[in-house]
Amino acid sequence: MLVEKEKIKTIALKSELSAGDIYFLLSLEDPDEIKFLGEIAYALKKDHVSNTVFFRGLIEFSNICTKDCFYCGIRKSNDLPRRFLMTKQEIVDAAIFAHSNHYGSVVLQSGERADGMFTGFVCDVVRTIKDKTEGKLGITLSCGEQNDETYKMFFAAGAHRYLLRIESSDREFYKMLHPSDRHHDFDTRLNCLRSLKEIGYQVGTGVMVGLPFQNREHLVKDLLFLKQIDADMVGLGPYIEHSQTPLYGYRDQLWPQQERLIMTLKMIAILRILMKDINIASATALQAIDGFGRERALKFGANIIMPGLTPRVHRKDYLLYEDKPCIDEDREECKDCLEIRIKLAGDKIGYDTWGDSKHFINRNHKTHLYV
Ligand code: SAM
Ligand code: SF4
């Protein structure tokens, strides 16, 4: 046990980790050693990005999607959810709630649509939020794959961060998770990430952990990919099954949910060791497995939390997976509950600040912080 802890420490202190090093850390099973890995990651977080946690109010503003990803509960072929697009007023109201409650930033997330009516609407909403909050509220978009022109339009409207998970960095495995057509192309997704960076966004990507047929080699590859693509922000969370999706047919292949949770925590800790100054989100999906999953992720190196701001009436129609937490809580309850939990975890909350990725700032040698 002592020997293993020495080895964990030695690996964590290396300037470059090999695939073998990462595999070793991902394979830790002794709870005491996993806790030790978390403590190292937490100390690195404190040193490099501090123990201040930033809020991104999450507004899931539309579940209308033109894609059919095999894992996702709002895929276009699922007839069960009532499809919605929040009105501009509803979205702006949610953003103003975030601003008045000192959140600093919001994430506008939706299913994927590339039609002009939708992209124009998003631009209008972004501009209006910026206008109403005197430019003070930071805006992250997560609206899937778009062409360069659209990404530029969103950026010009005032969005400065974009989240687009690669889902899995293994090309062959990616193909198994998506229909084989031009709308679900691995290279398109990669090119989108490259374009976003070129345009000047802070770019976030990430993967799901614990998918059917996923193995540790895939996860090692994912971590090396995140490093190689030089992500500014990462959101990685456990895959959770949804009965109205094709992947549900393979649920007998899944690791138990607790294992998916622990593997996600190890992934977060290793990522913090690999990329010390990035922002790492504590995924909401963690909380679907463990009531304190998000706080546990903070202890393993995550520093971003995304409190839900989607109006209650729409939450039951934005179920990416089953057992999604907090679908009946209102925004106030959600905020109060999180504040207490974060303080109990020993972290502070960074109010009224964008909480931009230090990695992005270091990469660009210029500050985007509004304090
Ligand atoms: N449509 C955009 C996209 O795909 O990038 C943004 C919205 S999409 C719902 C956001 C993320 O939800 C995806 O990147 C995926 O990783 C995650 N997701 C979808 N289904 C999931 C599931 N069953 N379990 C866990 N995460 C899931
Ligand atoms: Fe649509 Fe995103 Fe779900 Fe894929 S993951 S089906 S693009 S909402």
Cβ contacts of residue 292 below 8 Å, gap of 6+? 341
Cβ of 247 less than 6 Å from ligand 1: no
Taking the mean position of all CA atoms in its chain, how far away is CA 102? Answer: 21
Burial annotation 113-145 (CB, 10 A radius, 16+ → b, else e): beeeebbebbbebbebbbeebeeebbbbbbbbb
What pLDDT does 110 receive?
Answer: 98
Cβ of 286 less than 6 Å from ligand 1: no
Cβ of 67 less than 6 Å from ligand 2: yes
Instruction: Give the domain extent around 221.
Output: 2-370
Which one, of 144, 94, 70, 86, lies nearest residue 318 by Cα?
A: 86
For atom 2 of ligand 2, which residue has the closest CA?
Answer: 111
Determine the Cα–Cα distance for residues 353 and 350; give it in Å rounded to an integer: 6
**Atom in ligand 2 nearest the alpha carbon of residue 110:** 8
Question: How do the pLDDT tens digits run along the chain, 371 residues long?
Answer: 677 899 999 999 999 999 999 999 999 999 999 999 999 999 999 999 999 999 999 999 999 999 999 999 999 999 999 999 999 999 999 999 999 999 999 999 999 999 999 999 999 999 999 999 999 999 999 999 999 999 999 999 999 999 999 999 999 999 999 999 999 999 999 999 999 999 999 999 999 999 999 999 999 999 999 999 999 999 999 999 999 999 999 999 999 999 999 999 999 999 999 999 999 999 999 999 999 999 999 999 999 999 999 999 999 999 998 877 776 667 777 777 888 889 888 999 999 999 999 999 998 864 444 33
The pTM is what? 0.96
Q: Tell me the CA–centroid distance for residue 365 and ligand 1, in Å.
A: 32
How many domains are contained in the chain?
1
CA angle 307, 310, 313 (to 5 degrees): 135
From the CA of 321, which ligand is nearest? 1
**Atom in ligand 2 nearest the alpha carbon of residue 72:** 3
Q: Tell me the CA–centroid distance for residue 247 and ligand 2, in Å.
A: 14
Q: Tell me the CA–centroid distance for residue 214 and ligand 2, in Å.
A: 19
CATH assignment at residue 362: 3.20.20.70
For atom 19 of ligand 1, which residue has the closest CA?
Answer: 72
From the CA of 178, which ligand is nearest? 2
Q: Tell me the CA–centroid distance for residue 206 and ligand 1, in Å.
A: 10
